[in-house]
Amino acid sequence: MFEYLTGLITMVSPDFIVVDVNGVGYRVAVANPYAYQEDDQQVVQVFIYQAVKEDAITLFGFATQAEKRLFTQLIGVSGIGPKSALAILATPDHQGLIDAIQNGDDKYLSKFPGIGKKTASRIIIELKDKVVAVQDEVQLDFTAPGPLGPSAALQDALAALESLGYTTKQVERVQKQLEGLQGELSTNDYLSQGLKLLSR
């Protein structure tokens, strides 16, 4: 059983990343692949959940232990498989997801692919008291650990915005505003600010 992988990102695709650990490339499904920096000099740590079936072994990756814990809580709900849980975690608003579970907001949960009203109700019933334990920990942080310069963090955030469905023109519209932000910002910070600007 894997706990985490530490290595170089050698490939980023719409569905997965490849982490090279001492010459072995591990294909890892992640919620937002484009948030990982594709740089052969960038060492990252990706927390791993290993799903074993008769015909396949799949690795699911997470930027933080808290994100992995939320994933394992979701797949513990009847009717939620690893792919559905990963699709839910692709939302940039993890705190909004937790709030929806705690507040019994089945309408919010039903907006995710493959999640109907019955499944949303099961998520609420089974996780309402469990997600409290990670509420303070789980913040959106798709950036793998390691030093990221402001420009790299911004580029990752812009790529993440496009992967969430915004057009190149919309992303370019907010790019200059994001470039003007002060302070040392992470991909998470840029992404959050970008979503606020795009929702206006």
The whole-angstrom separation of Cα 186 and Cα 142 is 10
pLDDT at 147: 39
**Does residue 121 surpass a pLDDT of 60?**
yes
Average pLDDT of the chain is 81
Instruction: Classify 60 as helix, strand or coil.
Output: strand
Among 32, 21, 39, 38, CA closest to 61 = 32
Q: What is the CA radius of gyration of the chain?
A: 17
Lowest mean pLDDT among 13-27, 151-165, 184-198: 151-165
Q: Mean per-residue pLDDT for 134-141?
A: 45
Architecture of domain 4-62: Beta Barrel (2.40)
Q: Mean per-residue pLDDT for 35-58?
A: 80
pLDDT at 153: 76
CATH superfamily of 65-134: 5' to 3' exonuclease, C-terminal subdomain (1.10.150.20)
The whole-angstrom separation of Cα 121 and Cα 115 is 10
The string of pLDDT tens digits covering residues 101-118 is 988 999 999 888 878 889
Tokens of 106: 């089945």
Q: Mean per-residue pLDDT for 147-174?
A: 74
Q: Mean per-residue pLDDT for 79-100?
A: 86
The position carrying tokens 């699709």 is 87
Residue 182's pLDDT band (cuts 50, 70, 90): confident
Lowest mean pLDDT among 59-73, 99-113, 131-145, 148-162: 131-145
Tokens of 65: 């232990």
Run of H or E residues at 11:
strand 4-12
DSSP-assigned letter for residue 53: -
Q: Mean per-residue pLDDT for 147-164?
A: 68
Q: Which residues of 120-146 are buried (b: 16+ CB within 10 A; e: fewer)?
A: bebbbebbeeebeebbeebebbbbbee
